[in-house]
Chain A
Amino acid sequence: MKEKLVLIGNGMAGVRALEELLKLAPEQYDITVFGAEPYGNYNRILLSPVLAGEKTIDQIMLNDEAWYRDNGITLHKGKTVDEVNRARRLVRAGDGTEAGYDRLIIATGSSPFILPVPGNQLEGVIAFRDIHDVDVMLEMAATKQGKAIVIGGGLLGLEAANGLKKQGMDVTVVHLMDTLMERQLDKPAAALLKASLEEKGLKFLMEAQTEAILGKDRVEAVRFRDGLEIAADLVVMAAGIRPNIELAKKIGLHCERGIIVNDTMQTFDPRIYAVGECVQHRGAVYGLVAPLFEQARVCANHLAHLGIARYEGSLTSTKLKVTGIDLFSAGDFIGDESTQDLVLQDPGRGLYKKVVLSNNRIKGAVMYGDTIDGAWYFELMRDNTDVSDFRDTLLFGQAHLGDSGHGDDNRVAAMADSAEICGCNGVCKGEIVDAITRKNLFTLDDVRAHTKASSSCGSCTGLVEALLAHTLGGDYSQAPGKKPLCGCTEHTHDEIRAAMRDSALKSIPAVQRFFEWKTPDGCSRCRPALNYYLLCQWPGEYIDDAQSRFINERAHANIQKDATYSVIPRMWGGGTTPQELRAIADAAEKYQVKTVHITGGQRIALYGLTKEELPKIWGELNQAGLVSGYAYGKALRTVKTCVGKEWCRFGTQDSTQLGIDLEKMTWGSWTPHKFKMAASGCPRNCAEATIKDFGVVCVDSGYELHVGGNGGVKVRATDLLCHVETPQQVLEYCGAFMQLYREQAHYLERTAPWIERTGLSYVKEKIVEDETGRKRLYERFLHAQQFAQDDPWQARAQGAEAHEFTPIKRVG
């Protein structure tokens, strides 16, 4: 028989836990849900746009009743649970409805805090928490365009005030403190916010303590401590929320501010889980959905008996959903003696940005007027990234850094529906917005799966995220916890690599068993990554798994759109000879190659070969000494050079020979993403060395070494690593750098984003400052190369892997 699972609280966190559980173990439980509200599950966050008239209730439903039916879930809506018998494992609602459980989830959310002042029970005094509250406010606004007082100048209060104002009411916000949103904003930002809200017609009464609400049956006015009275037809209490722990306390679960849970979201009764705003975890309670969704994921994982996920707490960030007002804050944005503030203020443009640093790490940020970089700062803060290398431009944002993928809320809002967002897959704004709203998409991954936007080159990721934020209003998709390697596991690249090393895991199945992979044999995302990590960790020992390679690397040629292949032999340092050219010309003629093209990487490509022809043409090219150029691999690609001092009147060193030596040392090496190099003979830099993963610019006194550049989707110029004096040093630094990259970058992370993530200082520390460390890295690189430098074309031309290149059978 199936186990029985009961959920108390049909809100955002509880139902998210069920959704996650259904994904992991759809058949495991008989599920029953009790919800005090008379609806299916809706997106509470979007009550603000509903109040502002920008959305309807229908548009904010997440799971209608059909969803519960389709998933075999019994829904008792409009039923409040007031009794749980833990000994008999029985839940009972006020009306007597009962359900037994093997496991129970409590997700009762929060209750609005109602000020304990006389008159707080009068008609017309209301909170802002659920559909009922919004209905009352809308009705009030529609029948009587009267005066509203909102008590509380925090996020919720301001969203309520904005909504009521838009519904035509005359709104005064009353706040106890002297600045608005004091928990999320510092004074300058709060002042800017207040000014723009005043421009929208809101009134403010600051430092005002409510003493009583006056009226006979209905509210008529509000009186303050200083004696001031203001007339009111509606009073909205938005003075804070309290975790709703009444039921949990009553049934004897240990509670403090919230229900105490451990890292698997279990309460002191291990059969009972709790998630959402009612929970207290490691001393923290949360009031935003991002952390609650993380909790839900962990809870589901545990309920599905996978037991590998842990909730470790969340950092949160704040945005205000008032159209036309951009503000963002996260972390400790006030700071103390040990911190330093970077501030950018431009009252003329209504801009304010402050980033608080401690030891060159971001501790907090607050921004007003331009919040494009909020997500970026937040990520740097979460990853504890050392920002010293770009501290001077940090305030100007990520765009200034030249990285890709940031979006702009306002820009997407202004775009036409027909504007193309994803150039790779031809997806327009309208399609994405439509998918988000109709299919209730919450995350970037959802949007990728449903629309294909941002699933290819990724340069539109920022725009898609901005669209998500704009369409959903909430900001939760931007605060993911740790990023798992792929959907088959909860674990990150780094965790998996560490375990591979520490627990001597030496095959893909061993890794998958160790981490209890959710799928029998992984997917097209994790298998190539694991294959690479193992190859890098156990050189000479690990046997490459061809079936975990993308076709290009399995067949040692690039697949084309018509299922033919291209062949690109190596041309060392971009040089060639008449014999090589003749061999290429002969082969091109013999196989009637459709296109011969000089590539962007200084070599020659032959296009349109069938798979069966590959080993043959390779054999012929081999005869002339030509070997694979690895144009298909996450591997060393090309080393471009200029002619340097051999010919050029400006050349300072022999850049051509240096390029050849570099290529001879590094060819065959597999890397997390492709790896390109160049060597230029002088600072005129004709070989474009400063947009390569590793570039050398020769100067009179030696060689400047540059790292972390690329052309491609978003150009990034290299950072200068150091200056060395001899070609031998260039080789040593190059090998050490490649090895560091091979050992530390995530699979499919090129050197540019890797360096932006870890910081150039870190790389300098390892390669330049630590001589012993550098030499060890270099040795490890050379050691690995012993096993890597076999021309894959030669073996296959001589018959290896024949099954890869021939049909198993021909019929007819």
Chain B
Amino acid sequence: MNQAEKIMADSGGWIEIGSIDEIPQLGARVVRTADGDIAVFRTADDEIFALRDKCPHKGGPLSQGIVHGKRVACPLHDWKIHLDSGEAVAPDEGCAASFPVKVDGGVIRLLLTPNEGCPNQ
């Protein structure tokens, strides 16, 4: 068992990634994993969402986009993605996998297994 696996086993899979203050409001940070980057977003009212950092269009890094409401605008061609579901805003179609996150006392925790329902894992 390597260190990461050990941490995960100890915590039911929830990984502590940092404090909410480390992400700017209406901004995002990246969690770098062996399976690729996960973008963690913070909205204006401090909701936290996590998506695979890969736009369903051409793989643009969503973490670099402009966050507005519960959406992010992809930096490459301006698709809008729903932060909660990872679905592209209609009429565009596609989705980025979303990951379970929770915040306790300002500490953000993340599961590395994406939610079901999106082929773009």
Contact = CB atoms under 8 A, between A and B. Distances in A.
- Indicate, yes or no, whether A interacts with B: yes
Interface of A: 449-450, 455-456, 519-524, 527-528, 546-551, 554-555, 559, 561, 563, 803, 807-812
A521 B91 contact: no
Nearest to A810: B32
A521 B24 CA distance: 14
A523 B67 CA distance: 8
Contacts of B73: 523-524
Contacts of A521: 26, 44, 68-69
Interface of B: 2, 4, 15, 17-18, 22-27, 29-34, 37, 40, 44, 58-61, 64-69, 73, 75-78, 80, 91, 112
Contacts of A520: 44, 68-69
10 contacts: A456-B77, A519-B69, A520-B44, A523-B66, A524-B65, A546-B27, A551-B75, A555-B64, A563-B61, A807-B31
A548 B64 CA distance: 12
Nearest to A446: B91
A811 B34 CA distance: 7
A469 B96 CA distance: 37
Nearest to B26: A547
A561 B2 CA distance: 34
A333 B11 CA distance: 78
Identify which of A523, A559, A808 gathers the most chain B CB atoms within 10 Å of its CB: A808
Contacts of B66: 523-524, 527-528, 547-551
Identify which of A455, A550, A812 gathers the most chain B CB atoms within 10 Å of its CB: A812
Contact of A808 (B40, B61, B78): B40
Given A547-B24, A551-B66, A559-B61, 4 more contacts: A546-B24, A550-B75, A809-B17, A811-B112
B69 A812 contact: no
Contacts of A563: 59-61, 64
Contacts of B59: 563
A808 B112 contact: no
A563 B32 CA distance: 14
A523 B112 CA distance: 29
Contacts of A549: 66
A811 B75 contact: no
A812 B4 contact: yes
A554 B59 CA distance: 20
A628 B33 CA distance: 31
Contact of B68 (A523, A555, A812): A523
Nearest to A450: B91
Contacts of B58: 561
B64 A551 contact: yes
A527 B68 contact: yes
Nearest to B43: A521
B31 A547 contact: no
B31 A811 contact: yes
Contacts of A555: 64
B32 A811 contact: yes
A528 B73 CA distance: 12
Lowest 5 A-B CB distances belong to which pairs?
A524-B73, A808-B29, A812-B34, A547-B26, A524-B66
Contact of B76 (A449, A455, A559, A807): A559
Identify which of A519, A523, A524, A561 gathers the most chain B CB atoms within 10 Å of its CB: A524
Given A450-B91, A524-B78, A808 B22 contact: yes
B68 A522 contact: yes
Nearest to A452: B77
Nearest to B37: A807
Contact of A809 (B25, B31, B68): B31
Given A550-B75, A551-B65, A551-B75, A808 B30 contact: yes
Contacts of B112: 811
Contact of B67 (A450, A455, A547): A547
Given A521-B44, A551-B75, A808 B68 contact: no
B18 A809 contact: yes
Contacts of A519: 68-69
